[in-house]
Structure 1
Amino acid sequence: MRVVVIGGSGHIGTFLVPRLVRTGHEVINISRGIRTAYTEAPEWQQVRQVVADRQQEDADGTFGDRVAGLAPDAVIDLVCFTLEAATALVERLRGEVGHLLHCGTVWRFGPSDKLPISETTGTAPIGEYGIQKDRIARMLKEETASGGLVTTSLHPGHIVGPGWHPIGPLGNLDPAVWYALSAGQPLPIPGIGVEMMHHVHADDVAQAFERAVEHRDAAAGEDFNVVAPTALNVRGYARIAAGWFGRTASLEPVTWEQFRRTTAPEHAEASWEHLHRSQCLTIEKARTLLGYAPRYEPEAAVLESVRWLIDHEELKVAGPLCA
């Protein structure tokens, strides 16, 4: 098939585009042209690159025409963030494209009430990002149920992989957390340490998209959680990470008020956004309908990312990795 990937030079596309090429598809990547994939792969030589400013063309009402003009059999949209943009693309592709796949997020669900969270048991989303992604997923499901465009939405957890910083043990991107763990220094943790985060390796997300393309009929009108087989809580994540450096984590529970007083505002806010949701999701639906089989446990995915950052001198730690 001819598959158009929108935003294929990012985290997921780095692994997805080569997968699609290896499967035998003709792949066209639409991106702003300001970034190459995070890791090199020979398959990119076979990919047609189209440079476009999605945001501007959405505003002009021309982006759907650009995508339709490429005559795709399937479209994978990795960078759609508003219901308005998603609806415009659906309306333009209806009747012309066989399958539209959308990348959502586990933040389409709010703070957890019951674990693990299935596609139908999550609480209502909070925050504009999650609210918009939930609205998009619902619109896509209704579109297919009403006999319109065949659509599928896939909802990754916290994506990790080589080339970028992972969400760390405190639910933020603060590099000081990694230094403290690598040095065996005391680490203040907000709450009691059982708050959960559900990571996923970017290649496992790519696998899910690839399988959804292959199993179009099973994926039609469906939404899927796409995460690692298990989730990490703050305490376990920190202890595992300290062990990578031959250290034992020294964790000091503090109140959120205390944590906010001693942490940069952007890192404290990121911690709150991740940890008060405390999410753990089930992938049973994706396993059953798509054959989704993630290769990475969350700690293995994070370790790969941390090792890459250290090797490329983008993360300062107190000692070498022992793992």
Structure 2
Amino acid sequence: MRIVVIGASGHIGTFLVPRLVRAGHEVVTVSRGQRRSYVDDPAWQQVRHVVADRDDDTFPDLVAGLGADAVVDLICFTPESASALVGRLRGETGHLLHCGSIWRCGPSVKVPVTEDTGTPPVGEYGIAKDAIARLLKEETAAGGLVTTSLHPGHIVGPGWHPIGPLGNLDPGVWRTLSAGEPLDVPGIGAELMHHVHADDVAQAFQAAVDHRDAAAGEDFSVVAPSALTVRGYARMAASWFGQEADLRPVTWEEFRRGTDAEAAGASWEHLMRSHYFSIDKARTLIGYAPAYEPEDAVLESVRWLIDHGQLEVANPLKA
């Protein structure tokens, strides 16, 4: 098939494009052309690249004009943008696959969360992702364009910083844990985070392409087989450096006073949701089989960052 991947140079596209090429598909990528993929792969030499800006009014026409059998949209963030593309591809493209987010669901009430049991989303980003998923499902149910939405957890992999044990991107957390120094943890550290390796997300998109009929009109949570608690994550991370985590429970008010405002805000956004999702639907309908447990995916990312001089730690990795 001819497959168009929009936003192919990001986390998921880095792994998805080579997968599709190796599977024998003709791949066309569409991006602003401002960065390379995170991981080099010779498969990229067989890819046709088209430079375009999604904010351009002609963008839907450009994508439709590429004559794709399937379009994988990795960078759609508003219902208006989704609607414009759906309207233009209707009747011309066989399958539109959208990258959503587990943040389409609000704070967990019962875990694991399934595609049907999530609470209403909170925050602009989650509300928009939920609206897009509903728009796509309704489009297919009404007999229009065949669509599928896949909703990754906290994507991790080589080349970028993972969401850390406190639910933020503060690199100082890794230095603290690697040194065995005290780490302030808001609450008791029982909140959950659900990571997923970028290649496992890519695998899910490839599976949805390959199982178009089973994926038609469906939405899938795409996460690792298990989730991590704050304290469990921190203890695993410290052990990678031969340390035992010294976790100090504090109130959220104390945590905010002692933490950079941006990092504290990110911690709250992640931990108050306390997400843990089921992958049973994706396993059953499209054969999703994640290769990475969350701690293995994070460790790979941390090792890459250290090896490339992008993360300062107090002791070398022993894991």
Aligned-residue offset at 1:126: 0.3
2:121 counterpart of 1:103: no
Measured after TM superposition, the shift of residue 309 of structure 1 is 0.3
1:177 alignment counterpart: 173
| 1:287 correspondence with 2:283 | yes
Gapped regions of structure 2 (runs ≥ 5): none
Root-mean-square deviation (CA, aligned residues, Å) is 0.4
The match for 2:200 is: 204
In the alignment, residue 104 of structure 1 is paired with which amino acid? G
AA aligned opposite 1:149: L
> Structure 2 CA distance, aligned partners of 1:31 and 1:311?
29
Q: Where in structure 2 are the equivalents of 1:100-249 lying within 5 Å?
A: 100-249=96-245
Pairing partner for 1:257 from 253, 256, 262: 253
Give the paired residue count.
319
Q: CA separation in 2, counterparts of 1:160 and 1:202? A: 6
Deviations 1:121-178 (A, max 9, x none): 0000000000000000000000000000000000000000000000000000011100
d(CA) in 1 for partners of 2:242 and 2:262?
30
**Aligned counterpart for 2:302 among listed residues 300, 306, 321:** 306
Moved over 3 A (4+): none
- Distance in 2 of aligned mates of 1:306 and 1:48: 32
Distance (whole Å) between structure 1 residues aligned to residue 240 and residue 73 of structure 2: 36
SS in 2 for 1:155: strand
Partners of 1:29 and 1:99 in 2: CA distance: 16
Residue 13 of structure 1: aligned partner? 13
CA apart distance, 1:191? 1.1
Structure 1 position 210, deviation (Å): 0.1
3-state DSSP of counterpart to 1:123: coil
SS of structure 2 residue aligned to 1:54: coil
Question: How far is the alpha carbon of 1:54 from its aligned partner?
Answer: 1.0
- Measured against aligned partners, the alpha-carbon deviations of 1:255-300 in whole angstroms (never above 9, x if no partner) come to 0000000100000000000000000000000000000000000000
Q: Distance in 2 between matches of 1:78 and 1:126?
A: 21
* Matched ranges for 1:54-65 at <5 A: 54-55=54-55, 57=56, 60=57, 62-65=58-61
1:243, CA displacement in angstroms?
Answer: 0.2
2:42 corresponds in structure 1 to 42
1:272 to 268, 271, 275: 268
In structure 2, give the amino acid aligned to 1:14: T
TM-score computed with the length of structure 1 as normaliser: 0.98
- CA distance in structure 2 between the aligned counterparts of 1:64 and 1:30, rounded to whole angstroms: 11
Structure 1 unmatched ranges of 5 or more: none
Partner AA of 2:59 in structure 1: F
Give, in angstroms, the shift of residue 69 of structure 1: 0.5
- Residues 290-317 of structure 1 show CA distances to partners (whole Å, capped at 9, x for unaligned) of 0000000000000000000000010000
Secondary structure of the structure 2 residue equivalent to 1:118: coil
Shift of 1:53: 1.1
